[in-house]
Amino acid sequence: MSSPKSKNRFRKTNLLSVAILFLLILAGGVVRSTGSGMGCPDWPKCFGCLVPPTSVSDLPANYKEQYVEGRMKKNQRFAKTLDVFGYTDLARRLRQDKSILIPEEFNAAKTWTEYVNRLLGATSGILLLLTAIYSFSYRDVSKLIPFLSVFNLVLIFFQAWLGSIVVSTNLVSWIVTVHMLLALAILAIAITTYHLAKVNGRPNLRVNTITRIITISALIISIFQITFGTEVREKIDAVSARFQGGYRGEWIKNAGEIFTHHRDLAILVLVINVMLYALVRRAFNKHSLQQQIMSFTFLMLILQIVTGILLSYLALPPYAQAVHILLASLIFGAQYYLMLNLYKSVNIHGGRK
């Protein structure tokens, strides 16, 4: 039987990995909003170095041609993968995409923005590796905890590869959405293993069915809203490319119906969370974990609305884009954790009214 010390080590590492995953989502949002994805044109190194250069004088004279060639080879390999899965038309367009032949100018700010993102990605990978190792301290009480921890480790490595494809390709826009949804899945699994370890041995809670249905519905709607938001970002990227980065104030006007759907769904997100907040307040006292989670969710939702307004009326400032993505992931994480704690929680004594 594993010692309490080893179990505590797992919980601390797992919780730290959750925190780093949120920072990684924020860093990814900064990379995306500032167009820093190709700040490091190669992977896993950056300009062939463990620590990237700070000046173009540190690079070889033919660095542009060198990394364009590397990008072409990566895209060709990905095209072969698409062929295997039957996406032959998409593979053909990827092979014929001439935009990948346009070299990226060295930009120290973008390079280091992407480099920090990669450092956070590597840190999350190490923490999830340690989490997977430490998870076996729970194998005597729960086979699910080590299974999910190891599975999450596999997902984070796949996510890293997918991230390199996101910045390398221009035509496969749906990969951005898959990349974001996979990030949420990794986050959800990490939250699940932490929760399972924390409530191990606790009895199930008796919560009315309506509260649970509304909680699940709010979570599903949030996932749709994040998906729409990612598609809005893809559409904005296309508009930006058409205007060659100029006329920023016109980008939203040219984003089309997907932006309207994203904005309208925000109203439904607000309404269902108001309903959920009322149900949780009625079922649990103010000191309960459930009500604390819901209060946090509502605060994040208000801030999310504020950043949405800033994006709409201030021509999509990059800082607001990154914060908007982080807040969306925090809302998702809080709603998911609330759902778990409606079934089994650590504060069941005195938690109900």
pLDDT digit string, tens, across residues 233-264: 777 777 776 766 666 667 777 777 777 778 88
Note the pLDDT of residue 245. Answer: 63
Question: What's at 78, amino acid-wise?
Answer: F
Computed on alpha carbons and rounded to an integer, the radius of gyration of the chain in Å comes to 22
Spatial separation of the C-alpha atoms in residues 41 and 45, rounded to whole Å: 9
Q: HSE of 297 in the Cβ direction (CA atoms, 13 Å)? A: 29
| Number of neighbouring beta carbons within 10 Å of residue 340 | 19
- Is 349 a residue whose pLDDT tops 50? no
Residue 170 binned pLDDT confidence (cut-offs 50, 70, 90):
low
**Which are the contacts of 28, defined by CB distance < 8 A and separation ≥ 6?**
117, 163, 183, 325
Spatial separation of the C-alpha atoms in residues 277 and 295, rounded to whole Å: 8
Q: What is the DSSP string of 122-146?
A: HHHHHHHHHHHHHGGGGTTT-SHHH
Residue 122 binned pLDDT confidence (cut-offs 50, 70, 90):
very high
Spatial separation of the C-alpha atoms in residues 327 and 227, rounded to whole Å: 14
**Lowest mean pLDDT, pick from 4-18, 208-222, 231-245, 289-303:** 231-245
Average pLDDT over residues 331-348: 89
| Number of neighbouring beta carbons within 10 Å of residue 351 | 18
pTM, full prediction: 0.88
Spatial separation of the C-alpha atoms in residues 215 and 208, rounded to whole Å: 11
Alpha helices in the chain, H assignment, sequence order:
4-34, 63-84, 88-96, 108-134, 144-168, 174-198, 209-242, 257-283, 289-313, 318-341
User: What's the first-to-final CA gap in the chain, in angstroms?
Assistant: 37
Residue 325 binned pLDDT confidence (cut-offs 50, 70, 90):
very high
| Number of neighbouring beta carbons within 10 Å of residue 98 | 7
- How far CA 18 is from CA of 29, 125, 128, 195, in Å, comes to 17, 11, 9, 11
Note the pLDDT of residue 347. Answer: 67
Note the pLDDT of residue 272. Answer: 94
Note the pLDDT of residue 44. Answer: 76
* Residues 204-353, CATH architecture: Up-down Bundle (1.20)
- Token digits for 74? 């990566």
Spatial separation of the C-alpha atoms in residues 47 and 53, rounded to whole Å: 8
- Is 348 a residue whose pLDDT tops 70? no
- Token digits for 33? 């909003």
- Is 219 a residue whose pLDDT tops 90? yes
| Number of neighbouring beta carbons within 10 Å of residue 233 | 24
- Token digits for 263? 């904005």
- Token digits for 39? 């700040």
pLDDT per residue over 25-71, tens digit each? Answer: 999 888 888 878 778 877 777 888 888 888 888 887 777 777 777 77
| Number of neighbouring beta carbons within 10 Å of residue 33 | 22
- How far CA 227 is from CA of 91, 151, 176, 235, 264, in Å, comes to 24, 23, 10, 12, 14
Residue 350 binned pLDDT confidence (cut-offs 50, 70, 90):
very low
- Is 148 a residue whose pLDDT tops 90? yes
For residues 100 and 68, is the Cβ–Cβ distance under 8 A? yes
**Any idea what the Cα angle at residue 100 is, between residues 99 and 103, rounded to 5°?**
100
Q: Where are the domains of the chain?
A: 1-201, 204-353
- How far CA 132 is from CA of 118, 125, 188, in Å, comes to 21, 10, 15
- Is 189 a residue whose pLDDT tops 70? yes
**Lowest mean pLDDT, pick from 139-153, 174-188, 210-224:** 174-188
